[in-house]
Chains A and B, each alone.
Chain A
Amino acid sequence: MEVLKIATAGSVDDGKSTLIGRILYDTKSLTSDKLEAIEKTSKQKGYDYLDFSLATDGLVAEREQGITIDVAHIYFSTAKKSYIIADTPGHVEYTRNMVTGASTSQAAIILIDARKGVIEQTNRHFFINNLLRVKDVVVAINKMDLVDFSEERYNEIKADFSELMGKRDYQDQNITFIPVSALKGDNVVNRSENTNWYKGQTLLEHLEDLDMAAVSNIGTPRFPVQYVIRPKTEDFHDFRGFAGKVYGGELSVGDEVVALPSQTKSKIKEIYFYDKKYQTASRRSSVTITLEDEINVSRGDMLVKVGDLPSIDKQFTATISWMDSEKLKAGNKYMVQHGVNKVLAKVDAIHHKINPDYSGIDKEVSALGMNDIAEVSFKLNKPIFFDAFKKHRTNGSFILIDTKSNSTVGAGFILAP
Chain B
Amino acid sequence: MKNTSHINPLENEAIYIFREVAAQFEKPVLLFSGGKDSITLVRLAQKAFWPAKIPFPLMHIDTGHNFPETIAFRDKLVKELGVELIVRNVQDAIDQGKVKEESGKYSSRNSLQTTTLLDAIEEFKFDACIGGARRDEEKARAKERIFSVRDDFGQWDEKNQRPELFDMLNGQIELGQNVRVFPISNWTELDVWSYIEKEEIEIPSIYFAHKRKIFLRDGLIWSHSDYVYQEDNEEVLERMVRFRTVGDMSCTAAVFSDAADIASVVQEIRDSSISERGARIDDKRSEAAMEKRKQQGYF
Contacts and interface: CB of A to CB of B under 8 A. Distances in A.
Interface of A: 3, 31-34, 37, 41, 55-61, 63, 69-75, 77, 82, 84, 96-97, 99-100, 103-104, 226-227, 229-233, 235-236, 239, 241, 243-245, 250, 271-275, 278-288, 299, 323, 335, 337, 339-340, 393-394, 397-399, 401, 406-408, 411
B225 interface: no
Contacts of B205: none
Contact of A61 (B22, B159, B172, B186): B159
A394 B19 contact: no
A182 B272 CA distance: 26
B153 to A, nearest CB: 17
Contacts of B170: 337, 399, 401, 406-408
B5 A278 contact: yes
B19 A286 contact: yes
> Which of A63, A77, A103 has the largest count of B CB atoms less than 10 A from its CB?
A103
A72 B9 CA distance: 19
Nearest to B171: A406
Interface string B1-43: 0111111011111011001101100000000000000000000
B165 to A, nearest CB: 4
Contacts of A281: 4-5
A59 B158 CA distance: 8
B51 A406 contact: no
A233 B287 CA distance: 51
Contacts of A235: 51
A274 B159 contact: no
Interface stretch (B92-100, B114-122, B135-143, B260-268): B135-143
B128 to A, nearest CB: 14
Contact of B22 (A73, A227, A335, A407): A227
A280 to B, nearest CB: 4
Contacts, number: 187
B4 A278 contact: yes
Given A31-B273, A82-B191, 11 more contacts: A3-B9, A73-B185, A75-B188, A82-B188, A84-B186, A278-B4, A284-B9, A285-B5, A399-B165, A399-B170, A406-B173
Nearest to B277: A33
Contact of A285 (B7, B46, B166, B191): B7
Nearest to B2: A280
24 contacts: A3-B9, A31-B274, A55-B139, A58-B141, A61-B159, A73-B185, A74-B142, A82-B188, A84-B186, A226-B19, A226-B20, A229-B51, A230-B52, A231-B51, A231-B53, A235-B51, A236-B52, A241-B51, A243-B48, A273-B6, A282-B7, A399-B165, A399-B168, A408-B163
Given A278-B3, A394-B166, A58 B143 contact: yes
Given A37-B287, A226-B23, A229-B52, A401 B143 contact: no
Given A58-B143, A69-B159, A33 B48 contact: no
A408 to B, nearest CB: 5
Contact of A401 (B15, B16, B159, B172): B172
A63 B142 CA distance: 14
A78 B168 CA distance: 29
Most B CB contacts (10 A, CB to CB) among A33, A244, A245, A323 go to A33
Q: Which 3 A-B residue pairings sit nearest by Cβ, starting from the closest?
A: A58-B139, A33-B278, A286-B15
B167 A274 contact: no
B213 interface: no
Interface string B174-192: 1000000000011010110
Contacts of A340: 20, 23
A339 B19 CA distance: 13
Contacts of B53: 231
Interface in B39-89: 46-53
Contacts of B2: 279-280
B164 interface: yes
B51 A227 contact: no
Interface in B270-290: 272-275, 277-278, 287-288
A305 to B, nearest CB: 17
B291 A272 contact: no
B211 interface: no
Contacts of B48: 243, 286
Given A33-B278, A74-B142, A243-B48, A271 B5 contact: yes
Contact of A286 (B12, B143, B163): B12
Contacts of B142: 56, 58, 72-74
B217 interface: no
Contacts of A3: 9-10
Contact of B166 (A41, A104, A229): A104
